[in-house]
Amino acid sequence: MAAQNGRDLLLKIDMTGDGLFETMAGLRATRLSLNAQSVDVTHLGSGGWREVLGGAGVRSAAISGSGVFRDATTDARARQIFFDGDTPEFQVVIPDFGTMTGAFQIASIDYAGSHDGEASFEIALVSAGPLRFEAAL
């Protein structure tokens, strides 16, 4: 994968539950983290090497971002998801790699602003089920 513009990594949300995704806010920085916990099955016969059980454990993903809300609609949708504890579908578009889609819960939203600048926010999401991956063509 060649170097890519960071602005091309997009976080999108299904605004109405109809499967049509819209770019969420005016994110200036976005991060996707994929995690897998292992199940340690090391025993006396392992010869001093750790062994793990393949296919076991818990997989998860976390998304974080910061920026400015681009309009009142995406701002209101994010707040409503947070307060309702909903887990709607989100997409993370990774340029020249692919798109990850799945249910996420908003774990936190932080708002900030200064007297001579725009209001900004930071958001963190955690996966709430299996993710689907579609490779870029």
| Residue ranges per structural domain of the chain | 6-34+63-135
Q: Is 6 exposed, middle or buried (0-12, 13-18, 19+ CB in 10 A)?
A: exposed
Q: Is 24 exposed, middle or buried (0-12, 13-18, 19+ CB in 10 A)?
A: buried
- What mean pLDDT do residues 32-38 have? 91
| Residue 51, both tokens | 């062994």
Nearest to 12 by CA among 99, 80, 82: 99
Indicate the class that CATH gives domain 6-34+63-135.
Answer: mainly beta
> Which backbone phi and psi does 88 adopt, to 5 degrees?
-75, 170
d(CA 42, CA 50): 5
* Global confidence as pTM: 0.82
pLDDT tens for 56-104 read 889 999 999 898 877 788 888 889 999 999 999 999 888 888 999 999 9
Please give the pLDDT value at position 129.
Answer: 95
| Residue 128, both tokens | 């709430």
